[in-house]
Structure 1
Amino acid sequence: MAESLDTALVPAHVAVIMDGNGRWAQRRGLSRSEGHRAGTRTAKAIVTRARELGVRHLTLYTFSRENWSRPKDEVALIFDLLVEYMKGELANLLDQDIRLLVLGDFDGLPFVARQSLAHVMAKTAHCRAMTLNLALNYSGREEILRASRALAQKCAAGTLEPESLDEAAFAAELYTAGQPDPDLIIRTSGELRLSNYLLFQAAYAEFYFTDTLWPDFDAAELERALADYQRRQRRFGKTGEQVAE
């Protein structure tokens, strides 16, 4: 499949809603914890393949603010797996020149997870080949409200004129500040919704939905999604030929 991809048209920013770990485990008579472990293995493989294919920014929807309502033992396991991932993948991230960033309410994460994430972010801060964003304790609506509050405070302090507020100024207050909006958003497991994910940034994103459950989403599935993206004509609300990016 990779041979059919046009390297010049690989999307700069791919965002993924990783869905289906629980159903994957249920169908195999396994515990949900085994589903999350399988999903973590898939994430590792997709990060590597995305880097090889030339994706510059990869955002994985890892844990939403709504996910706190899950059973406490399941939440604890998710963060245990995250810490394991950080410890085990730091060397690989450095070897692949991948920078790690967190999108979301960082201070609301468990202490050990914050420590582990902060360590890897500091160690990979100089990496430039690809940025790996983990959306953790993330809410698209909360992100918009957070940016709005920051801009309101600047206006109240007199450091920003309301008339000068534009999309660029707003985007600069988002967690993704300095990064391009996602070109392609992938959702696995057959669900057809955004689930409060990158609401502002998704304005002109292309969407790719697949019935494949996240633990089964391998490199070939990623390449299939990218090939589908490359067959589309992105007009950004305009008519005529594809807009150059």
Structure 2
Amino acid sequence: MSLRSLLEPVYYRILRNSLTHIPNHIAIIQDGNRRYAKELGLKNGYGHRQGANTTETMLDWAREFGIRHITLYAFSTENFKRSEEELAELFALFKDRFLKVLTDERVHKNKIRVRMVGDRSLLPDDLLTCIENAEEATKEYSNHFLNVAVAYGGRNEIVHAARRLVQRVKEGGLRPDEITPAMVEANLYGGLGLPPVDLIIRTGNDFRTSNFLPWLANGNESSVYFCAPYWPQFRKIDLLRAIRVFDQRRSSCSKSSCS
């Protein structure tokens, strides 16, 4: 047994016990699936499947820590530029995981509401049907919320919200001077009413937020945690380290009364 394997449980307990603030809403950019597979000499599909397994495990950790809202950046509007083979693999994987929601005992026992964030018009009908079935099966749940960003782009989302408001103005139901930040927010993300993002996590050693949830994250000045492991390698200790970043910022703000 290595020294690291001996010390890590101790480090985990110390870190867990040091936290006083837990984020209500975390957003995760699950980066590195393809690079993970490439380094192993395997196809992209392997990395995506392993990443999906990490996601399921991570949801258990988050629930254990008391995090109620999680938004996952699963597939951006830019990702449609990938090869037909990879898109087919990804859509098949999404269908499989959304179908799994219907029978997953953890989802129903813990009353996890599953919702999609993104442009539904861009998705194939069979995938959209699976998503809608998962949403329907969990629509009455409110203990935890899992939001999956598929066919999502931050600027695209704001454009759609602007179009909705412009249409109301054209119809005479709204004056331009009546538009408020709260009204814009109500028209974002399909009217899901997502809470502000407290913490953004990005894996894969890439230091960008990729325009993910810009209104809820940047507008809320959320904490950001970048880490080196590819998403399939993400561990419970990595999640704790991310929460520590949020905790330190909240503790600092409490002392200085910052927003």
TM tier relative to shorter chain: over 0.9
Letter in 2 for 1:38: Q
CA distance in 2, matches of 1:9, 1:179: 20
CA distance in 1, matches of 2:142, 2:237: 25
SS in 1 for 2:215: coil
Please, what is the CA RMSD of the aligned residues? 2.0
Kindly indicate whether residue 93 of structure 2 is the aligned counterpart of residue 105 of structure 1. no
CA deviation after TM superposition for structure 1 residue 25, in Å: 0.8
Counterpart mapping for 1:21-170 below 5 A: 21-90=33-102, 91=104, 92-170=106-184
Q: TM-score, normalised by structure 1?
A: 0.92
Letter in 2 for 1:171: E
Letter in 1 for 2:213: L
CA deviation after TM superposition for structure 1 residue 242, in Å: 4.7
Q: After superposition, what is the alpha-carbon deviation per residue over 1:156-182, rounded to whole angstroms, capped at 9, x for unaligned?
A: 212112222111000000006422111
CA distance in 2, matches of 1:209, 1:139: 20
The 8 Å contact of residues 65 and 139 in structure 1, kept in 2 or not, is answered as: yes
Q: After superposition, what is the alpha-carbon deviation per residue over 1:120-178, rounded to whole angstroms, capped at 9, x for unaligned?
A: 10000111111100000001111011111111111121211222211100000000642
Q: Max radius of gyration: which structure?
A: 2
2:245 to 217, 228, 233: 228
Counterpart mapping for 1:201-216 below 5 A: 201-203=216-218, 204-216=221-233
The 8 Å contact of residues 224 and 245 in structure 2, kept in 1 or not, is answered as: no
CA distance in 2, matches of 1:239, 1:48: 32
The 8 Å contact of residues 14 and 58 in structure 1, kept in 2 or not, is answered as: yes
2:194 to 172, 176, 179: 179
Distance change in 2, residues 1:30/1:225 (3 Å): same
CA distance in 2, matches of 1:234, 1:136: 34
Structure 1: give runs of 5+ residues left out of the alignment: none
CA deviation after TM superposition for structure 1 residue 235, in Å: 8.1
Any runs of at least 4 consecutive aligned residues in structure 1 with deviations exceeding 4 A, and if so which? none
CA distance in 2, matches of 1:22, 1:240: 42
SS in 2 for 1:143: helix
Kindly indicate whether residue 254 of structure 2 is the aligned counterpart of residue 241 of structure 1. no
CA deviation after TM superposition for structure 1 residue 196, in Å: 2.5
CA distance in 1, matches of 2:98, 2:153: 22
Q: TM-score, normalised by structure 2?
A: 0.87
SS in 2 for 1:141: helix
Letter in 2 for 1:4: N
CA deviation after TM superposition for structure 1 residue 39, in Å: 0.4
Q: Structure 1 residues 92-101 or 143-152, which shifts more?
A: 92-101
CA distance in 2, matches of 1:139, 1:119: 23
SS in 2 for 1:62: strand
Q: Identity across aligned pairs (percent)?
A: 34
Letter in 2 for 1:211: A
Distance change in 2, residues 1:162/1:68 (3 Å): same
The structure with the largest helix share of the pair is 2
Counterpart position of 1:190:
205
CA distance in 2, matches of 1:53, 1:242: 25
